[in-house]
Every structure is written in structure tokens, then in C-alpha cells.
Chain A
Amino acid sequence: MENSNEIKIRRVLEQIHDPEIPVLSITDMGIVREVKEEAGTWVISITPTYSGCPAMDMIAASIKMELSAQGYPGAEVRFVLSPAWTTDWMTEAGKEKLKAYGIAPPNPRQQVCRDELFAPDEAVQCPHCGSWHTARISEFGSTACKALYRCEDCKEPFDYFKCH
């Protein structure tokens, strides 16, 4: 019984989207860490992408509202910080959705996250034309999780979801 409830709840969570990247659900993002029942209350643990992510409060509110509407009132949302969120937790389906939306998905982790200054930019594929001939404009994009790139072939700017 409990298991089937958990599956239903996870299905509800799949329908909740990140307000800043509406093409991704919170499960695509990999921020749902645990769904469990504690003394009759469903507890959903989520982890922020970045400490200051302004979407977290809204996501927590959406989870409570949506679960309540689907027959699970009074759910509790907990924030967990450790282990810290990494783009490795983004699902493959999520990465495909990002690309179709025009945001380059995060590269596999080992390519980046170096400490040395002026490290050569990692190769990022243009989500519009598929070219690898791209250049970083800025390490920080429209949100903390993205960097701004430009395609040297199709000349379009695009967001890159940083490896983190």
C-alpha cells in the first residue's frame, strides 16, 4: 500500500516544474531526494541547486498544493543540503528536454569544475545547430545555474546549464 502511495506521489512530483526553467520537472532536475511517510505525514525531501536559488520556496509551495489536490494533504517539504546537488543527478530525459528548449545541457562532470584561473573554456555544443564551435561570453547567465555562450557558426547566443 505504502509503496503504491509513494509511486503515486512521485508521479505527482514529475508534474511539478521549476519556475525558472519550466521545461524541466523537479524530478528531471534531480532535486527530489526522498519521499517517505513519517507517522502518517508524507515527507518530501528536496535539495537546492544553489544556496540562493529563489525558486526553492515556490517549488516547496507547489509540492504542498499539488499533493493536497491529489489527495495527500498536509505533506511536509524538507530541505536537505548534503550531499550537495550536482548536475550528475539531472536525468537523461531532462537533458534532452533542456536541449530541445534551447539550453545546452550540463556536460559530464569530469570535464570541468577546475580551480585554475583562465582555464580554457570547456567545449559546449550549440543547442540550436549542434556546432561545437562556441565561446563563453560570461560565467554567470540569467540564473546562477547557467552560463552565457555564443555559437560561432549560427551566431546565436544560448544558455549553458553549468556543470556543478
Chain B
Amino acid sequence: MNTVFAIASVTIKELYRRKDFYVLFVLSALITLMAEAGTFFHDDKIVRYLKELCLLLIWISALVIAVTTAARQIPAEREQRTIFPLLAKPVTRGQVIAGKSLGCWLAAGLALVVFYLFLIAVCGSREHAWPLLNYLQAAWLQWMFLGVVIAMAVLGSIVFAAPSSNATILFVVVIGILLLGGHLNQVALERPEPMRSVLYAIYFIIPHLEWFDVRALVIHDQSLIAWWAVAAASAYAIVYAVLFLFAAWLAFRRKALNT
């Protein structure tokens, strides 16, 4: 376990020493502040728009950060050959995968903390209301969502040769699930066989990432989700993440590495 944490901490260190990480923060903050500056009237609706915009930016930025960093980890280790001195130590390849993924996930969590603190500050100062638990649930579930996405990205980075095609495929899949995943069963009903069964099968196999998108909770100040439901969703995400990482390990375990 120490090995996994050591790898994770080096991964995080790299992420925050690379400057491109900050660009998204600054960009999101700038857009939000500009939107805020453009709104002169202090009515409810405008705060709601502001929240909606800001949350959308957070979702996009966090997704971009998670996918691009996770997809890059192992290919970069191989390209830069840092994987060789690493694997020459008494580490298993499973530990490398676990450490890299954990590092990306913790870094994504850190990014979410910054994003949400910013959101709370901007919105709270306008509404003078601080529904912190709503923010907490939204952020937590988003973090769980990112865990699944990161595991998918790590798996993809081992299966697909080119990191860029991996990232592209992943964006399409994740956004596809977010937009369509919940409706696939209804779509299936309208189709003839065998299409119907195929769509149903897909519906039951895919990780339902759209469940983790509870932005409305913050935007419309809805009442909190039951904590048991949050726990169940977290467990669901962890199961999927572990499955993807297990598949990644299977693919990586005996792979010959070209020096």
C-alpha cells in the first residue's frame, strides 16, 4: 500500500508542477466573473443562471482535467522511459496502475475543492445563502463520477496505442452516457428487434454516469439527497472503477515493454 501511495504522490506532484493545470482554473474563474460582472440586477433568476453557467464550466473543466491527465499517465511513463527504473523496483504492475489512478483521482478531488469553494464564494456572496450540504453532495458525487472516468481513461491508455485517440473516444463515450444513458431504455422500446435487445444490454452494462450529475441540487436549491442514496451511488461508482482498473491490470500485466 505504501508503494501505491508513493506513486500516487509523485503523480500529484507532477500534475501541480505542470503549469497547464492552472489554465483551466483561471479560465473558468474568468468566465464566471465576467458573467457576474455583466449582470446588474440582483434577482433570483440571475443568480440561478450564474450557478448554472459556473457548474457547467466546472463539469467541463473537471472532465477535461481528469481525462487528459489519466489518459496520459502510463503512455508518458513509457514514452519517457521512466517506467523502466520504476518497474525495476519491487513493484507490481498492478501497483503502478493503482497508484497512477489514485493520484489522478486525488488531484481531481483537489481541483473540485478549489472549483466549489470558488462557486460557493461567488454565489453565496450574491444570495446570502449558504446551502453547504447541497454543494457537498454535488461535489462528492461529481468526484465519484470522475473516479469512474479516470479508471476508464487508464484502461483506454493501455488498450489504445495513441493517447489522443483514447482521450477523444473517452469524451465521446462519457458525454454520450451523460446525455443518453438515462434514456436508452426508452429508446430501446421504440426499436425493432434485435436492436432493442442490443440497446437494452448496453443500458444495463454501461456505468450510469448521468446519475452523478446532480447539478440541479445546487441550481434549484432542491432538498438534499438521502445519504444512503449517496452512499449507494458511491459504492456503485467504486465497483465500476475497480472493474475498469482490473481490466487495465489484465491488459498490462504481461505486456512486453519496449526499451
Partners in one complex: no
* Chain B residues close to A by CB (< 8 Å): none
Residues of chain A having any CB pair with chain B under 8 Å: none
